[in-house]
Amino acid sequence: MANLAKVVQQLKQERDQAQRRIEQLDEALKALGGLGGVRGGATRVGRAQTLGKKRRTMSAAARKRIAAAQRARWAKWKAARRSKQA
């Protein structure tokens, strides 16, 4: 039972070390992201937050236009595919 307690304690120490390393990496990414011109390496949410840019909102009308255009592209693709099979 004492060995199990030692293993648990060691695992907790390793977890704490890993957490500290993750925090260091996050700070480094934040510092590098603030330099500007650096692409990639950050997640979508992280990139928007680190560069200080606001996400654009899209109007309902714009979403409808985009959706209609995509439906038209799919219909065209499906029609071309059907004509090849016939």
Mean pLDDT (the chain) is 84
Q: Report d(CA 26, CA 19) in Å as an integer.
A: 11
Mean pLDDT along residues 47-69? 83
Contacts of 46 (CB under 8 A, 6+ apart): 29, 33
Q: How confident is the model at residue 36 (pLDDT cuts 50, 70, 90)?
A: low
**CA distances in angstroms from 30 to 16, 17, 20, 39, 51, listed in the order given:** 21, 20, 15, 13, 9
Domain boundaries, the chain: 1-55, 57-86
Q: Label residue 60 by pLDDT band (50, 70, 90).
A: very high
- Tokens (6 digits) for 38: 């650096």
Question: With 70 as the cut, is the pLDDT of residue 58 above it?
Answer: yes
Could you tell me what percent of the chain has a pLDDT over 90? 55
Give the 3-state secondary structure of residue 41: coil
